[in-house]
Amino acid sequence: MIPQTRTVDGVSRMMAFMKKLMRDKRGNALIIAAGALPLVIGSAGLASDTIQWTLWKRQLQRAADSAALAAVYDRIANDGSTGNVSAAVTDDLGRHNHTNIALLSGYPQLAYPSGTNWTNPVRVTLALQKRLGFSSVFLNSPPVITTQATAATVATGVYCVVSLVDTAATGIKATGNGDINLGCGMITNSTSLTAAIATGSSEVNATPVAAVGDIQDSDNWGGAELLPFTVKQADPFADVNVPSFSPCKGNANRLRVLSNATDNSHAADTGVVCVSEMDLNGDVTLGSATYVIDGGDFSVGAQAHVTCNGCTIILTNSDTSTTPTIGTVDINGGAEIDMSAPTTGTYDNILFYQDRRAEESTTIVNTINGNSDSLFSGAFYFPNQQLQINGTAGLNMNCAQFVSYVIEFAGNGSINNTCTGGYGDDRIMGQHVRLVA
């Protein structure tokens, strides 16, 4: 049996040692560091988990964004149908290796939310569950990360220039040394990497400038909003067709006016009037009629002065074959032109219309030359051929629209298009695929 006094002495010495140790300042840093070590390790672990969580979240969001955009393009390609959207989303996730993020069962989830400012919407929701290195020590199950993205086609502006070429040919060219003031946008369906180009000393005042392909960067665009890789633009006049008419080929039905001559014989024309050709070199007044040119051209000489109010010139051919000869337009720069399209009826706002059976070509050119004494009002429609607009001394247009296979603005003078009251129901709206939420 140990004497009690020895036990008491041992305790006393221990207490004295602890008091001395507490008063001793040597080694305090080590003790504090040891006490704080769990907090430091915990903070580092949580920081590491936060970075990992953020990375997974971003990867998942990128996958949702990409899949939503792909889904909208699929809807556009299928006239708005949602029947193939699921396959398009799955294909996009696979193509971009997004499936390696191991989505939870039941995902992706698709929805088609309504919106007042967009069409063809698709919402894609993705979710995954992954184990975090540090937090998993305290969590019964890994957390679920969820993201979603909504894409749709949204209106991008009013276009008055539409190039319908859907090959690798350049669709829109702005050349020459003049200013091109359109007061609207331009768009081409060209898939080229140079779908729209602006060269020379020209300055283009038109926005936005859009293309299915890419757009060549240039200071000539004048600060326009460039929208490459956009949605294909539909033909705005696809539902407008050639009127019924009685064939009128032959010299007997040709309207030819010589230089220094005056012809007012057609000033009172209305309805549909068929001629085999228009070769105008003098002073000519046309009526408010739909003039069908059966197999011939519309040409205006340098000395001509042509006037019409509410007329439409239609280039077609009574030949019912699929490849008939369709005439072209050639207006000389010296001519004085004052022509306006009708504001009602089938050819509302259409000044020149070329039959869609015309030979498809980027080299057959329909030329509109003009000067400051000329004024054109209405649309120029040449869906299968080139339209070239040349300004020589300030060519003026009023609410003009240029819809052609390919289009070129050239010349040394300015080309000015104004539409103070706007295009109203005749406006051509562009669409662009974007993330909207």
**Which of residues 252 and 179 earns the better pLDDT score?**
252
Interval 404-415 mean pLDDT: 87
What is the pLDDT, as a whole number, of residue 372?
73
What is the pLDDT, as a whole number, of residue 25?
62
**Which of residues 175 and 366 earns the better pLDDT score?**
366
Interval 317-339 mean pLDDT: 90
d(CA 324, CA 315): 11
What is the pLDDT, as a whole number, of residue 139?
62
Calculate the average pLDDT of the chain.
87
What is the pLDDT, as a whole number, of residue 135?
65
pLDDT at 421 over 90: no
Instruction: Determine which of 41-45, 156-160, 225-229, 416-420 has the lowest per-residue pLDDT on average.
Output: 41-45
Highest mean pLDDT among 87-96, 159-168, 407-416: 159-168
pLDDT at 200 over 70: yes
pLDDT at 257 over 60: yes
370 band by pLDDT with thresholds 50, 70 and 90: confident
115 Cβ contact list (under 8 Å, min separation 6): 121, 152, 436
Q: At what angle do helices 28-77 and 85-95 cross, to 10 degrees?
A: 130
What is the pLDDT, as a whole number, of residue 36?
53
Give the predicted TM-score (pTM) of the model.
0.80
70-107 pLDDT, tens digit each: 999 999 888 889 999 999 999 998 887 666 677 888 99
What is the pLDDT, as a whole number, of residue 134?
60
pLDDT at 2 over 60: no
What is the pLDDT, as a whole number, of residue 55?
82
Instruction: Determine which of 165-169, 188-192, 197-201 has the lowest per-residue pLDDT on average.
Output: 197-201
136 band by pLDDT with thresholds 50, 70 and 90: low
What is the pLDDT, as a whole number, of residue 35?
54
Amino acid (one-letter) located at 57? K
What is the pLDDT, as a whole number, of residue 99?
64
Interval 304-311 mean pLDDT: 95
- Give the whole-number percent of the chain exceeding pLDDT 90: 53
**The two structure tokens encoding residue 340:** 């306006």
Q: Is the peptide bond before 208 cis (omega within 30 degrees of 0)?
A: yes
Sorted by where each begins, the domain ranges of the chain are: 28-142, 157-435
